[in-house]
Structure 1
Amino acid sequence: MSLATQKIVPCLWFDDQGEDAANLYVSIFPNSRIGEISRYGKEGFEIHGREAGTVMTVEFFLDGQRFVALNGGPLFTFSEAISFQILCDDQEEIDHYWEKLTDGGEEGPCGWLKDRFGLSWQVVPRVLPEMLTSKDHAASQRVTKAFLQMKKFDIEALKRAYDGEVAGAK
C-alpha cells in the first residue's frame, strides 16, 4: 500500500523498545519490512530526555499496512482496550501467529494474547465472523459457547460446534 493511499497510520507508543518490537513484528508477518528510522537529536533534550542518536520512531509495514513505533518514554502503556486482529485462513496460520506472539508474552481468552511488549492481538479464524452472523441462531450460539471456553482458537472445534456436534474447548 503506498503512503499516499493509507490515510490512517497506527502509531504505537513504546518506552524505548520500538525498534525491537518493529523487528519482531516484521519477522512474523509476510510481506513486511522496516521503513524509515528517525533519531533524537540534541534539540529538545530538556523535553524528551533522550540521548542524541537514540531511536525516536520506526516506520514499519506488516503485510503492507504501515505502522509507526514511537519511543516516547514510560508515560503511556498499552491496554486491552486496543488490539489488532489477525484473520487467519487455517489452523496452521493461527498456530504460527499464536506461537510467535505469545513467546515472552501471555495467552488470554477468546483468541486474545499480549506479546512481550504488552500489545494485545486477537488471532481469529476468518470463518468465525461468518459463523457468528449466521442466520442459524442456534448454530451461532453453539459457536459462541465453544469459543468462550478457548484461549487459542481451534477451527475444527468451532466447526463441530457450528454443525451441532459436541465441541471440546482448548
Structure 2
Amino acid sequence: MASSRGFTTCLWFDGDAEAAADYYLSVFKDGRLGRIGRYNESGPGRAGDVMVVEFEINGQRFIGLNGGPQFPFTEAISFQIRCSDEAEADYYYEALTRDGGRESECGWVKDKFGVSWQVTPDEAIDLISDPDPGRAARATAAMMTMKKLDVAEMRRAADAG
C-alpha cells in the first residue's frame, strides 16, 4: 500500500539538531520550522533539551534528531541541489562551505554539521548525459578534475572533440 504522505528524512545529530535546522532555514529561503519536541523525565536525554526538530526546505520534510555521537554522517547519503544556473550553484556552494563546511569532489560539499550536498547546475547534468558519448565522456572527465563545478569549462571540454 503506497503512502500519499511522502517521505520525511531523519537526520541524526549529536546535540545540535536545532542549530542545524536554523542554519538550513537561513541557507534555503523557502524553508519553515515545524514542531520542536523535548526530552522529558523519561529520557534518554536531559529533560528540557531538544530531542527532535521538524523543518522543511525546498519542499523536503526533515526531522533533526539529537540522538548522540553513535552515528556520524558519511558521504554515503547526500542531498542533490539542482540549480538553474551557475549563480544559484555559487550561492549554495558558498553558503554550505562557510563557517566550517568544506569542499569535496565534483560539486560535492560537506556542511559544518557534516551533511553532504551535491551542488549541481542543470547544464552540468545535461553535459555529462549528452547523447553523444564522446561529448559526455569529455565533460565527465573535466568534471572529475573539479571541486566546484565549472560549467563553462565542462562545455569547452565537451566541445573539444
Q: Normalising TM by the smaller chain, what interval? A: over 0.9
Q: 2:79 aligns with which of 70, 79, 84?
A: 84
Q: Which amino acid aligns with 1:120?
A: S
Aligned equivalents of 1:28 and 1:80: distance in 2? 20
> Helix, strand or coil: the match of 1:10?
strand
1:110 aligns with 2:106: yes
Residue by residue, what CA displacement relative to the aligned partner does 1:102-137 show, whole Å, maximum 9, x if unpaired? 111111011111111111111011122222222211
Q: 1:149 aligns with which of 145, 148, 151?
A: 145
1:124 aligns with 2:120: yes
Aligned equivalents of 2:5 and 2:90: distance in 1? 29
Q: 1:59 aligns with which of 54, 57, 62?
A: 54
Q: Which amino acid aligns with 1:107?
A: E
Aligned equivalents of 2:95 and 2:109: distance in 1? 11
Q: Which amino acid aligns with 2:113?
A: F
Query: Percent identity at matched positions?
Result: 47
Aligned equivalents of 1:128 and 1:5: distance in 2? 32
Aligned equivalents of 2:58 and 2:77: distance in 1? 19
> Helix, strand or coil: the match of 2:8?
coil
1:15 matched residue in structure 2: 14
Give the aligned CA root-mean-square deviation in angstroms.
1.4
> Helix, strand or coil: the match of 1:127?
helix
2:130 matched residue in structure 1: 134
Aligned equivalents of 1:133 and 1:102: distance in 2? 27
Following TM superposition, by how much is the alpha carbon of 1:7 offset from its aligned partner in structure 2, in angstroms? 2.0
Following TM superposition, by how much is the alpha carbon of 1:5 offset from its aligned partner in structure 2, in angstroms? 4.3
Following TM superposition, by how much is the alpha carbon of 1:35 offset from its aligned partner in structure 2, in angstroms? 0.8
Counterpart contact for 2:85–2:123, Cα < 8 Å? no
Q: Structure 2: which 5+ residue stretches go unaligned?
A: none
Residue by residue, what CA displacement relative to the aligned partner does 1:67-121 show, whole Å, maximum 9, x if unpaired? 1100001111000111111111111111111111011111101111111111111
Residue by residue, what CA displacement relative to the aligned partner does 1:42-77 show, whole Å, maximum 9, x if unpaired? 01x2xx2x2111101010000121111000011110
Q: Which amino acid aligns with 2:157?
A: A
> Helix, strand or coil: the match of 2:90?
helix
Aligned equivalents of 1:67 and 1:55: distance in 2? 15
2:95 matched residue in structure 1: 100
Aligned equivalents of 2:10 and 2:24: distance in 1? 14
Instruction: Map residues 43-58 of structure 1 onto 2, 5 A cutoff.
Output: 43=42, 45=43, 48=44, 50-58=45-53
Aligned equivalents of 2:129 and 2:139: distance in 1? 11
Q: TM-score, normalising length from structure 1?
A: 0.88
